[in-house]
């Protein structure tokens, strides 16, 4: 007869050990999904933005704004725990602030998603062009259209299972960093860390791109539901903190390598400026991995926007797909390709409004924490004014 437990073992201790293992597995999986969601296309703009103000000040921005976004993520996590499941920002806004806030949330979500899709076409299409053009020829515009067409097809088919492979997207991204570290370390020049390309008017330039790079509030309810299915909602705060810390150090290393290698010659999209330093073969691999990591995010973003149009605005699903696809490609073909401006305005304006709504909702459930909320509101409001003034006045 086979005994279920070894001699002297405590069956309750075995159960506790299994529970701890399942908690760890749930935590790591949730951490991986949230971390991969945060580390998106925004990372490629950070080295160029950092050079605008110089590396020392840029690192202060990275730490300070990372802490601000981390607090807002934590606030949204607390809101998610105290709001009925299967709600998102739009639903939260209606419940806690009313219909006016719901309308604002819908508007900024749609504009933000359109801007993100346009940025994916610009950068992802650029990576595809750099990888394929040496062999196949063609223009950068052509590869942008090919990138868009492939993404739009997957969005139409509704292939939601791609999101299940976000962990492998994170693995691919860290492969980029590892390859960059191995090949780039001998090429780093310490003089490059003193470079600065901007003037006095650019003193707050990193604000929008850094906010964009850290932001992932749309994923917080997803993580909360994921943890809830495994009885681990109590871990939500720890998952957010661990992901933000991982992202901060990842961004720090990425900026360090790109600026250290490229200096003042660093390109807006980071990888494109490395070809002379690292060689065509190595950079081709980086371009391919960059294309893969941005493409999966394009699909997930497109699917999210299609759901907002279909479920929140009650638009026919096929029409919702057509709108999701048509707007970014029309903007791209019309010549709107300044992705630094796109990052800055989405991050510094639309995501900041997103953050203001979250803070206002948080005050409803935690009126005792207004001393924390007001400084955050002032930072976000000041950023909105700066970004609008920088680009339009």
Q: Over 50: is that where the pLDDT of 1 sits? A: no
The domain 84-392: what is its CATH number? Answer: 1.20.1740.10
Q: What is the pLDDT of residue 223?
A: 80
pLDDT-derived band at 12, boundaries 50, 70, 90: very low
Q: Which residues lie below 8 Å from residue 362, measured CB to CB, with a gap of 6+?
A: 75, 76, 78, 79, 369, 373
What SS3 string covers the chain? CCCCCCCCCCHHHHHHHHHHHHHHHHHHHHHHHHHHHHCCHHHHHHHHHHHHHCHHHHHHHHHHHHHHHHHHHHHHHHHHHCCCCCCCHHHHHHHHCCHHHHHHHHHHHHHHHHHHHHHHHHHHHHHHHHHHHHHHCCCHHHHHHHHHHHHHHHHHHCCHHHHHHHHHHHHHHHHHHHHHHHHHHHHCCHHHHHCCCCCHHHCCCCHHHHHHHHCCHHHHHHHHHHHHHCCCHHHHHHHHHHHHHHHHHHHHHHHHHHHHHHHHHCCCCCHHHHHHHHCHHHHHHHHHHHHHHHHHHHHHHHHHHHHHHHHHCCCCHHHHHHHHHHHHHHHHHCCCCCHHHHHHHHHHHHHHHHHHHHHHHHHHHCHHHHHHHHHHHHHHHHHHHHHHHHHHC
Q: What is the pLDDT of residue 165?
A: 58
Give per-residue pLDDT as tens, 177-194. 787 778 788 888 888 888
In terms of pLDDT, which residue wins out, 83 or 314?
314
Largest CA distance in the chain: 83
Q: What is the pLDDT of residue 309?
A: 86
Give per-residue pLDDT as tens, 228-270. 655 567 788 899 999 999 999 999 998 998 898 888 888 777 7
Q: What is the pLDDT of residue 162?
A: 54
In terms of pLDDT, which residue wins out, 127 or 11?
127
pLDDT-derived band at 67, boundaries 50, 70, 90: very high
Please give the average per-residue pLDDT across 62-81, as a whole number: 92
The C-alpha torsion from 276 through 278 and 282 to 288, rounded to 10°, is: -60
| Cα separation, 224 vs 80, whole angstroms | 7
Highest mean pLDDT among 14-18, 95-99, 274-278: 95-99
Q: How far, in Å, are 7, 224, 227, 230 from residue 27 at the CA level?
A: 32, 11, 8, 10
Give per-residue pLDDT as tens, 267-310. 777 777 677 677 777 788 888 878 877 887 788 788 878 878 88
pLDDT-derived band at 42, boundaries 50, 70, 90: confident
pLDDT-derived band at 169, boundaries 50, 70, 90: low
In terms of pLDDT, which residue wins out, 267 or 214?
214
Name the residue ranges covered by the structural domains of the chain: 84-392
In terms of pLDDT, which residue wins out, 92 or 145?
145
pLDDT-derived band at 15, boundaries 50, 70, 90: very low
Give per-residue pLDDT as tens, 346-392. 999 999 999 999 999 999 988 888 888 999 999 999 999 999 999 88
């Amino acid at each position: 007869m086979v005994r279920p437990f070894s001699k002297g073992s405590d069956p309750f201790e075995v159960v506790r050990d299994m529970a701890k293992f399942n908690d760890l597995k749930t935590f790591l999986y949730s951490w991986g999904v949230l971390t991969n969601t945060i580390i998106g296309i925004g990372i490629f703009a950070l080295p160029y933005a950092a050079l605008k103000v110089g590396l020392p000040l840029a690192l202060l921005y990275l730490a300070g704004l990372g802490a601000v976004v981390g607090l807002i993520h934590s606030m949204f996590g607390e809101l998610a725990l105290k709001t009925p499941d299967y709600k998102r920002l739009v639903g939260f806004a209606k419940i806690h602030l009313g219909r006016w806030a719901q309308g604002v949330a819908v508007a900024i979500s749609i504009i933000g998603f359109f801007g993100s899709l346009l940025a994916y076409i610009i950068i992802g299409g650029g990576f595809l062009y750099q990888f394929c053009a040496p062999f196949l020829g063609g223009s950068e515009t052509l590869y942008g259209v090919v990138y868009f067409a492939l993404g739009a097809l997957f969005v139409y088919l509704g292939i939601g299972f791609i999101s299940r492979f976000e962990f492998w997207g994170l693995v691919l991204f860290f492969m980029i960093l590892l390859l960059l570290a191995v090949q780039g370390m001998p090429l780093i020049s310490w003089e490059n860390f003193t470079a600065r390309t901007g003037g006095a008017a650019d003193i707050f330039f990193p604000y929008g791109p850094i906010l964009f790079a850290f932001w992932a509030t749309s994923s917080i309810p997803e993580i909360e539901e994921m943890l809830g299915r495994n009885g681990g909602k109590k871990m939500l705060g720890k998952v957010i903190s661990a992901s933000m810390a991982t992202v901060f150090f990842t961004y720090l290393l990425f900026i360090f390598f790109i600026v250290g290698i490229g200096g003042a010659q660093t390109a807006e999209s980071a990888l494109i400026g490395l070809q002379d330093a690292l060689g065509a073969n190595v950079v081709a691999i980086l371009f391919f991995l960059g294309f893969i990591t941005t493409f999966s995010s394009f699909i997930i973003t497109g699917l999210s926007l299609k759901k907002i149009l279909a479920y929140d605005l009650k638009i026919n699903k096929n029409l919702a797909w057509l709108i999701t696809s048509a707007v970014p490609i029309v903007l791209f073909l019309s010549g709107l390709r300044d992705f630094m401006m796109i990052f800055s305005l989405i991050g510094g304006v639309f995501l900041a409004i997103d953050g203001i709504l979250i803070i206002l909702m948080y005050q409803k459930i935690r009126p005792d924490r207004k001393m924390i909320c007001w400084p955050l509101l002032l930072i976000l409001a000041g950023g909105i004014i700066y970004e609008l003034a920088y680009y339009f006045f």
